[in-house]
Amino acid sequence: MLQRRRTLKRIAGVAPALAVCIALSGCGGGEADSHAGSEPTLAPAGAFKDGLMYAAIKARLAGADIDTATRISVRVHAGVVTLTGAVKDGATKAREVALVRAMRGVSAVNDDLRVGHVGPSTVQTVSDAAILAGVESALTAQAGINVTGVRVSVTAGRVTLTGHAPTAAVKSTLAAAAEHTPGVRNVVDRIAVKGQ
């Protein structure tokens, strides 16, 4: 009786993970799902296996390069993996396809990846957001200066200040505060002085 109870507890513990894997295999991972209707339906065991393979592929891609992994959609059907999305260059494309091809259980890889501009990395986007918050805090901390007329933008660590300041001294103080913020590479000061 005790053994049976332990077995039931193990099954109950695994059931949520099984449900997620089955759901993932049904979803297939993103934009490529529009082709799912053209393939025959798999038995539950096949869908489960594809779900596990999908999760393993996404984990392997993320382990190799998290930024690239977030831009690649993966679909698995009966061991055939389809990769879609954008990568920054041909070497990255070849590396990601080879990585998936080498995985156990993959019978074929359909490479629908395109090479081209992929935008800033996740790390750079997060870094720029942190710099933006730091610069805005530094500007706001300047005692007696109303900074509501100043706009801040950040791209790859480059800070651009736009808007209006009441005097040249205030303009200079704001630019200096931005320059001394951690992570700032350089400051482009486009603040206009009112009346000039």
Domain ranges of the chain: 2-115, 122-193
Which of 1-5, 53-57, 109-113, 188-192 is predicted least confidently? 1-5
DSSP states of 61-112: HHHH-HHHHHHEEEEEETTEEEEEEEESSHHHHHHHHHHHHTSTT--EEEEE
The beta-carbon contacts of 189-196 under 8 Å, at least 24 apart in sequence, are 189/161, 190/160, 190/161, 190/162, 191/150, 191/161, 191/162, 191/163, 191/164, 191/165, 192/163, 192/164, 192/165, 193/164, 193/165, 193/166, 193/167, 193/168, 194/164, 194/165, 194/166, 196/168
Question: Does 37 score more than 70 pLDDT?
Answer: no
72-77 vs 150-155, strand pairing mode: unpaired
Provide the pLDDT for residue 22: 43
Taking the model in full, what pTM does it have?
0.48
Question: Does 80 score more than 70 pLDDT?
Answer: yes
CB 185 within 8 A of CB 158: yes
Q: pLDDT band for position 149 (50/70/90)?
A: confident
- Distance between CA 107 and CA 126 in Å, rounded? 37
Output the six-digit token pair for 195: 């009346």
CATH code of the region 2-115: 3.30.1340.30
Range 115-141 average pLDDT = 83
Residue with tokens 């799902």: 33
Give me the chain's average pLDDT, please.
79
Count CB atoms within 10 A of the CB of residue 137.
11
Provide the pLDDT for residue 18: 44
Q: Top-level CATH class of 122-193?
A: alpha beta
| Fold matches, 2-115 and 122-193 | yes
CB 51 within 8 A of CB 24: yes
Task: Pick the more confident residue, 66 or 109.
Answer: 109
Question: Does 36 score more than 80 pLDDT?
Answer: no
Provide the pLDDT for residue 127: 85
- Tens-place pLDDT, residues 104-125: 999 999 999 999 877 777 667 7
Spatial neighbors of 51 by CB under 8 A, at least 6 apart, are: 20, 21, 22, 23, 24, 25, 26, 76
Which of 19-23, 124-128, 170-174 is predicted least confidently? 19-23
Task: Pick the more confident residue, 96 or 146.
Answer: 96
Residue whose C-alpha is closest to residue 48's, from 73, 74, 15: 15
